[in-house]
């Protein structure tokens, strides 16, 4: 079964901070009935720059980018079965979770949230996910 690359112009393609270097990453890959979405950061799709230094605004942008990639792959948040979250500062968890709850509007997923250091300066949160389309 071949993998199908998924791309949305409404979300940034990342992988390198040098804008002139093509990314080696796919925004998402569909394999069978599953859609694997690469980690999305709080980047403006047009400029590929961090949108804000506020965790609430960053979380909303991350989830908006994630939704755009899901839609390009024929999915919605209702198809998401698992999400992984990386927070630069674990003290941001309550604010992140507030924006997450607001965005999810009651939709349930499994989720792991860890503290770590996203690769790009200024990025406070990154989220990836797996969606089931079967």
CA 85 – CA 96 distance, rounded (Å): 10
pLDDT tier at 1 (50, 70, 90 boundaries)?
confident
- Quick one: average pLDDT of 108-116? 96
d(CA 92, CA 21): 32
The per-residue pLDDT for 13 is: 82
For residues 19-26, give the mean pLDDT: 79
Q: How confident is the model at residue 16 (pLDDT cuts 50, 70, 90)?
A: low
Mean pLDDT of 121-134: 96
The pLDDT-based confidence of 19 (bands split at 50, 70, 90) is low
Report the pLDDT value the prediction gives residue 131, as an integer from 0 to 100.
Answer: 98
18 versus 10: the higher-pLDDT residue is 10
Q: Where are the alpha helices (DSSP H) in 6-109?
A: 55-72, 93-104
Structure confidence by residue, pLDDT tens digits, 79-92? 999 999 999 999 99
Domains annotated on the chain, with CATH? 4-132 (3.30.1330.40)
Classify 50 as helix, strand or coil: strand
For the chain, give the percent of residues with pLDDT over 90: 82
Question: How many angstroms separate the Cα of 18 from the Cα of each of 13, 15, 115, 121, 132?
Answer: 12, 9, 25, 13, 33
Cα separations in angstroms, 15 against 24, 104, 127: 7, 26, 14
Tell me the mean pLDDT in the region 105-125.
92
């Amino acid at each position: 079964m071949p993998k199908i690359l998924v791309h949305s112009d409404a979300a940034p393609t990342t992988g390198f901070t040098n804008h002139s270097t093509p990314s080696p990453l796919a925004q998402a890959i569909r394999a069978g009935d599953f859609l694997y979405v690469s980690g999305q950061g709080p980047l403006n799709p047009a400029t590929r720059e961090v949108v804000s230094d506020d965790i609430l605004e960053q979380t909303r942008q991350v989830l908006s980018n994630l939704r755009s990639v899901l839609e390009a792959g024929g999915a919605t948040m209702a198809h998401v079965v698992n999400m992984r979250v990386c927070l630069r500062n674990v003290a941001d968890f309550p604010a992140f979770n507030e924006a997450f709850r607001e965005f999810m509007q009651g939709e349930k997923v499994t989720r792991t949230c860890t503290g770590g250091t996203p690769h790009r300066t200024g990025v406070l949160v990154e989220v990836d996910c797996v969606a089931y389309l079967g």
